[in-house]
């Protein structure tokens, strides 16, 4: 893997998904994953400390249950995101990162910088969402 500076940003004029691009996205994805894991561990630790479920007040119990439910949904979303990050890192390794799963076309640097776990071009993503909506309406 190629060394890049902390301030490096992939440029359109460089060869798409060259070693520098891959190093940039690997670094970006790895640090994002580290942040998420740390945040999840803290959230799980803190939620185990402030347990109101033994409170005699039914309102406190309900409130605590609702808060825990919201926290757990957020943690579950982050766990799914960590899984997507792992998949993206695997695609970097196998050489398919940055290319659309449907069309094989380049996803594009701007889209990947904004959403490093993207697997579809914008056009393929829109088509996919339209199809999902059609099936959801049935």
Q: What does the domain layout of the chain look like in residue ranges? A: 19-137
Give the separation between CA 104 and CA 25, rounded to whole angstroms: 19
Q: How confident is the model over 41-57, as pLDDT tens digits?
A: 887 777 665 555 566 67
pLDDT value, residue 48:
60
* Whether the Cβ atoms of residue 88 and residue 80 lie closer than 8 Å to each other: no
pLDDT value, residue 69:
84
pLDDT value, residue 93:
96
Average pLDDT in the chain: 88
Of the CATH numbers 3.30.360.10, 3.40.50.800, 1.20.120.910, 3.40.50.150, which one belongs to the domain with range 19-137? 1.20.120.910
pLDDT value, residue 41:
83
DSSP state of 10: -
What percent of the chain has pLDDT above 70? 90
């Amino acid at each position: 893997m190629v060394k890049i500076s902390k301030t490096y940003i992939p440029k359109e004029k460089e060869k798409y998904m060259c070693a520098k691009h891959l190093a940039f996205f690997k670094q970006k994805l790895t640090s994002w994953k580290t942040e998420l894991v740390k945040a999840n561990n803290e959230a799980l630790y803190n939620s185990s400390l402030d347990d109101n479920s033994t409170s005699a007040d039914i309102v406190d119990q309900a409130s605590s249950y609702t808060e825990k439910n919201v926290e757990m949904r957020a943690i579950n979303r982050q766990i799914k995101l960590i899984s997507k990050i792992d998949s993206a890192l695997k695609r970097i390794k196998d050489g398919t990162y940055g290319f659309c799963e449907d069309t094989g076309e380049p996803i594009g640097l701007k889209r990947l910088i904004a959403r490093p776990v993207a697997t579809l071009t914008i056009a393929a993503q829109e088509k996919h969402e339209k199809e999902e909506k059609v099936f959801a309406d049935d």
